[in-house]
Amino acid sequence: MQIKDSFVINASQEKVWELLFDIPRLSKCVPGIESVEVVDEKTYRGKLVVKVGPIKSQFSGVVTLTEVEPPQHIAGSVEGDDKASASSVKAGFSGTLTSVAAGTEAAFVVDLNLRGRLAQFGGPVISATAKKMTAEFAKNLRAELEH
Amino acid sequence: MSIDFLEPTDFSEAMALLSEYGDDAKVIAGGTSVVLMLQQKLIAPNVLVSLGRIEGWDYVRLEPDGLHIGALTHLRDAERSPVLRQFCPALAYTFSVVGNVRVRNQATLGGNLSAADYAADPPAMLTVLGARARLLGPGGTREVPLSEFFLGFYTTALEPEEILTEVIIPVLPETARAAYFKYTSLSAEGRPCVAIGALADFDSDGKCKDLRIAVGAAVETPQRVESAEALAYGQTLTGELVAAISEEYARTLDTLSDVRGSAWYRKEMIRVFVKRALEEVRDGHR
């Protein structure tokens, strides 16, 4: 399934870009991040907790960046799994930063492939959860960048 | 891994267990929802706090401020309650179409609402009836209108240590009429693809005084469209007006896609079933 979303932050494109690669600051902004470890400049290993009502999943995975064009475009892939629910996720993503009147627009597209027990939830639950996490991420980015 | 099955005999004991075990505990009543999640290993609590031995919370009774339904009332008992049938036949009908009779004999109203499964029957109907959920927590009790109780998929306004104890439905005007429509796209006893709860009240000239329609199952939480409801106020529900209101519901709601139907299909079915619900409250009986 495809998840597509965008948001605007009142900060310059350079500042937003800088934050995306400042892992300690960035991980404070991503909802549910438990740890991030930089393997090399294009590979990151991390743990992410996602909660939907009573259901809590902990994904461990690797993010690999394949395209990095400062300060406007990144693309890459994510592979991870949640042992407790025997679920795995594979995703390709691409993101773009654009300068707009109100600051910077961040837009992204994720092609998500979820397998295992969590997948039975189906698309609506997954896309609504992604939407909520994006909104929270945008809120945290604003708090971090808009002083 | 084994799970401790604890059976408190009153709500305060149940709450104490919830504070003691925190995230490791899960409340279970009839179990029709929790057991499925356990079987599918979507949740893995260490402790189940069962409400099965708590007595005195399965009742349906009429009080001056409305109908009170204890949270531990089985859906089958609510459906068959003469008091409830007298109070609002459409609500009794709503309970009667949940799953099948085995499910209704086991499932409780509190459990049905607390699970906040979007593909459920009671939430849309109870929302239009203006029902409130009474929640018991460490700080005492509070009441939350159902319109503010469902926050998202499987997510409610219940705090971790709170338990839903009762549902209260305010007295309806003598002249009000209610209807519930369940549309299933798979099997007859399946979950709804679209659920429509409707309530309308008319003056002696047949002009609409009040209209509330909530759509469930096709959206994340039961949704009313106030701009559409407002079209009816002070008006006679003519065929054209009914069509306009149905159209507004179909146009406005952000529907979801799942195994029971695509977002587009659900919009089409909302158009059809809002129309039927409007015709029912206009022409039907209480």
User: Count of CB contacts below 8 A, A vs B?
Assistant: 48
Contact A19, A131 (CB under 8 A): no
Tokens of B43: 């949740």
**B220 → closest Cβ in A85, A118, A128:** A128
Which whole-number Å values give the CA distances from B28 to B5, B32, B52, B115, in the listed order?
10, 9, 8, 10
Return the bridge partners of A114, or none. A89
Q: How far is CA A146 from the centre of its chain?
A: 20
Q: Is the Cβ pair B42, A85 closer than 8 Å?
A: yes
> How far B195 CA lies from chain A's nearest CA (Å)?
17
Mean pLDDT of A104-117: 92
> What's the pLDDT at A52?
87
Closest CA in chain B for residue A124: B256
Element (H, E) at B111: helix B109-115
pTM for the model stands at 0.89
Which of A85, A122, A129 is opposite residue B259, by nearest beta carbon?
A: A122
- Residue A84: its chain B contacts at CB < 8 A? 41, 44
Give the pLDDT of residue B70.
98
User: Which residues, 6 or more positions from B230, have their beta carbon under 8 angstroms from its beta carbon?
Assistant: none
Residues 6+ apart with CB under 8 A from B7: B50, B52, B53
Q: Say if the Cβ atoms of B258 and A117 lie within 8 Å.
A: no
Q: What angle do CA B161, B166, B169 make, to 5 degrees?
A: 135
pLDDT score, position B35:
94
Q: Are B76 and B62 in contact (CB under 8 A)?
A: no
Q: Which of residues 82-121 of B touch A (CB under 8 A)?
A: 116, 118
pLDDT at A55 over 90: no
Taking the CA of residue A123 and the nearest CA in chain B, the distance in Å comes to 7
- Asked whether the beta carbons of A63 and A77 are under 8 A apart, the reply is yes
Q: Given an 8 Å threshold on Cβ–Cβ distance, is A85 in contact with B257?
A: no
Per the CB < 8 Å rule, is B256 touching A117? no
Q: What is the pLDDT of residue B285?
A: 62
Put simply, the answer to whether A132 touches B152 (Cβ < 8 Å) is yes
Residue extents of the structural domains in chain A: 2-145
A43-51: average pLDDT: 94
Chain B residues with beta carbon closer than 8 angstroms to that of A56? 23, 43
Task: Give A112 to chain B, closest Cα distance, Å.
Answer: 16
Closest CA to A47 of A34, A63, A28, A37: A34
Q: pLDDT class for A119, splitting at 50, 70, 90? A: confident
Q: Which two tokens stand for residue A146?
A: 């808009």
Q: Which residues of A touch B26 (CB under 8 A)?
A: 54
Render each residue's pLDDT in chain B as its tens digit; 286 residues. 689 999 999 999 999 999 999 989 999 999 999 999 898 888 889 999 999 999 999 999 999 999 999 999 999 999 999 999 999 999 999 999 999 999 999 999 999 999 999 999 999 999 999 999 999 999 999 999 999 999 999 999 999 999 999 999 999 999 999 999 999 999 877 899 999 999 999 999 999 999 999 999 999 999 999 999 999 999 999 999 999 999 999 999 999 988 899 999 999 999 999 999 999 999 986 5
CB distance B40–A122 less than 8 Å?
no
Cβ neighbours of B114 in A, within 8 Å: none
Torsional sign, CA B100, B101, B107, B109: positive
Q: Helix (H, G, I), strand (E, B), or coil: what is residue B102? A: helix
Q: How far away is chain B from the Cα of A124, in angstroms, using its nearest Cα?
A: 6
First to last CA, chain A: 36
Is residue B154 less than 8 Å (CB to CB) from chain A? yes
Is it the case that residue A139 has pLDDT exceeding 60?
yes
The CA distance from A142 to the nearest CA of chain B, in Å, is: 24
Neighbours of B252 (CB within 10 A): 15
Structure tokens at A59: 């994904």
ipTM of model = 0.76
- CA-to-CA dists, residue B260 to A121, B119, B174, B197, angstroms: 13, 10, 37, 19
Tell me if B116 and A53 make a contact (CB, 8 A cut-off): yes
Binary contact (A128, B118; C-beta < 8 A):
no
**Residue B189: its pLDDT value, please?**
77
Chain B closest-CA separation from residue A120 CA (Å): 9
Mean pLDDT of A117-146: 88
Task: Collect all residues with Cβ–Cβ distance below 8 Å to A104 and sequence separation of at least 6.
Answer: A8, A9, A11, A12, A13, A15, A16, A97, A98
What domains are defined for chain B?
4-50 (3.30.43.10), 60-170 (3.30.465.10), 177-283 (3.30.390.50)
Judged by CB atoms closer than 8 Å, whether chains meet at B153 and A118 is answered as no
The pLDDT confidence band at residue A84, using thresholds 50, 70 and 90, is: confident
**Model confidence pLDDT, tens digit, residues B78-109:** 999 999 999 999 999 999 999 999 999 999 99
Closest residue of A to B43, CA-based?
Answer: A55
Question: Cα distance from A72 to chain B (closest Cα, Å)?
Answer: 31
Topology of the domain comprising A2-145: Alpha-D-Glucose-1,6-Bisphosphate; Chain A, domain 4 (3.30.530)
* Tokens 């937003």, located at residue: A16
Neighbours of B189 (CB within 10 A): 13
